[in-house]
Structure 1
Amino acid sequence: MAGDGAKRPYRMSPSARQARADRLEAAARAVESAALLLFEDRGFDLVTVDDIAAAAGISARTFFRYFPAKDDVLRGVVRRRAQAVAAALAARPPDEAPMRSVRQAVQEVVAAEDSTDVARWVRVVEASLYATRVMLGVSVLEFNGVLAEFLGARLGEAPDDLEPAMLAVAAGAIILAAQTRWYLRGGDLAATISDALTVIDTVIPGGSGTRE
């Protein structure tokens, strides 16, 4: 048995852990913003980690605390949207038509995003073939994975079964295409994506059957 003077291991309270996570997230977002401005100005392929660190006022070592690589600055945008959509889908009514749930969740999440940041991200990605390939891969693995999980659960199938997997790919592709359409034509991004998703609103069992 340890003596009375033995030190107990320090355990961070839940509120302290959340505050620390919030600080790290804010710091990472500041680095991301600095990086996106550089990517937009110089092109993704020409900007180095040292460039980003200098623009953000941090060291390269500190940069790697937030992002494993330069590519992850762009991946972070997709990952945040995927996580937010997953949470929004979990909150949708269980008896709601699956694609209506997807439309409503995506519209809710996108409406809360900064459209200026989204437009900058689109410009950066579309200007670099490498960045485009990376983002397509991330979208398939992460964002489409969220949709497949949700649709599989609603349809009583595994996420990688044909129907939920292909519907997730279709929805993901429509979202990307609608985002590009918005970037070129302007308007409201969330509404543009929601309207585009009505294309497959009636495809799956339990679909709404009508366009709102």
Structure 2
Amino acid sequence: MTERRKEVVRTEIARTAVRLFTERGVSGTTGDDIARELGISTRTLWRYFPTKESCVRPLLTTGLEFMAARLRACPPDTPLLEYLEREQAFEEGAPDLGEPVADLIRMTHTEPALMAVWLEVHHAAESVFAEIIAARTGQGTDDLSVRVQAAILNTALRLASEELAHATADGREAVPAGVGPFVRTVLATAAQGLPAFTTAPPRRRD
């Protein structure tokens, strides 16, 4: 089986898993159920994914892979965010969040196992972003500034996706501008830095 065909099968499994999770709940869905819906054996299903929850992973990685590809294409002398805005990376041509993905992201807040997959996907993406930033700056991937920049971008994408998913909940009309405005809001908030904290003197104990 070609790699392209494998990816198609993985995506079909992911969409079927999300549909069943939405209809029956994660606890009410088994690997056998997912396989039966697809007309494949459960053994074949486990060749692709180790657990029923991990079946949803392909739907969560598409947007991050798209962003990584855009970052790699950025000319060396152009600031990353300037390039992303110019190329309309947050809107035109960006992967559509779509109802299956939106349903899935919303479920992560009530299903710990799905939240674990969501966070694992972003943890892996953060490492990829760090590699791209390090290559552009000549720094190491373990450099603190590189890790902070990768974490900010990664968190912006995660929170923006979550906000958009919840904004389109309950069958409400999709937000026309997509995820872009949410990403910009998160990045603008991060740029403001932390609020000023006043440290109160320690209380004296008698």
With the shorter chain as reference, the TM-score category is 0.7 to 0.9
Report SS of the residue matched to 1:189: coil
| 1:120 pairs with one of 75, 91, 103 | 103
- Relative to structure 1, is the Cα distance of residues 78 and 119 closer, same or farther in structure 2, using a 3 angstrom cutoff? closer
Identity over the aligned pairs, expressed in percent?
A: 27
The residue number in structure 1 matching 2:119 is 136
Residue in structure 1 matched with residue 155 of structure 2 by the alignment: 173
| SS class of match (2:78) | coil
Q: Closer, same or farther in 2 for the Cα pair 1:115/1:82, shift >3 Å?
A: same
| Amino acid paired to 1:42 | R
Residues 1:193 and 1:93: Cα distance change in structure 2 (over 3 Å) = farther
How has the CA–CA distance of structure 1 residues 34 and 112 changed in structure 2, closer, same or farther, with 3 Å as cutoff?
A: same
Shift of residue 59, structure 1, vs aligned partner = 0.8
Aligned residue pairs total 184
Question: 1:74 is paired with a residue of what secondary structure?
Answer: helix
Further displaced range: 169-178 or 77-86 = 77-86
Q: Does 1:38 align with 2:20?
A: yes
Normalised TM-score (structure 2): 0.76
Q: Any unmatched runs of 5+ in structure 1?
A: 1-16, 204-212
Specify the code of the residue in structure 1 equivalent to 2:94: A
How far 1:114 sits from its partner (Å)? 4.5
* Corresponding residue number in structure 2 for 1:189: 178
1:1-212 alignment runs, 5 A limit: 20-101=2-83, 107=90, 111-140=94-123, 142-186=124-168, 187=175, 188-196=177-185, 198-199=187-188
- Which amino acid is the alignment partner of residue 44 of structure 1? V
Q: In the TM superposition, what whole-angstrom CA distance separates every residue of 1:42-90 from its partner, at most 9, and x where no partner exists?
A: 2223321111111112110111232232232222233333333222222
Where structure 2 has 5 or more consecutive residues not aligned to the other structure, the ranges are 169-174, 193-206
What amino acid is the match of 2:109?
A: E
Tell me how far apart the structure 2 counterparts of residues 179 and 114 of structure 1 sit (CA, whole Å). Answer: 8
SS in 1 for 2:90: helix
2:201 aligned partner: none
> Which one has a larger percent helix, Structure 1 or Structure 2?
1
Contact conserved, 2:106 with 2:166, CA < 8 A, in 1?
Answer: no
In structure 1, give the amino acid aligned to 2:112.
L
Question: Counterpart amino acid of 1:120?
Answer: D
Contact 1:175 1:196 in 2 (8 A): no
Structure with more contact order per residue of length (Cα contacts < 8 Å, sep ≥ 6): 1
**Partner AA of 2:113 in structure 1:** Y
Distance 1:159 1:108 in 2: 29
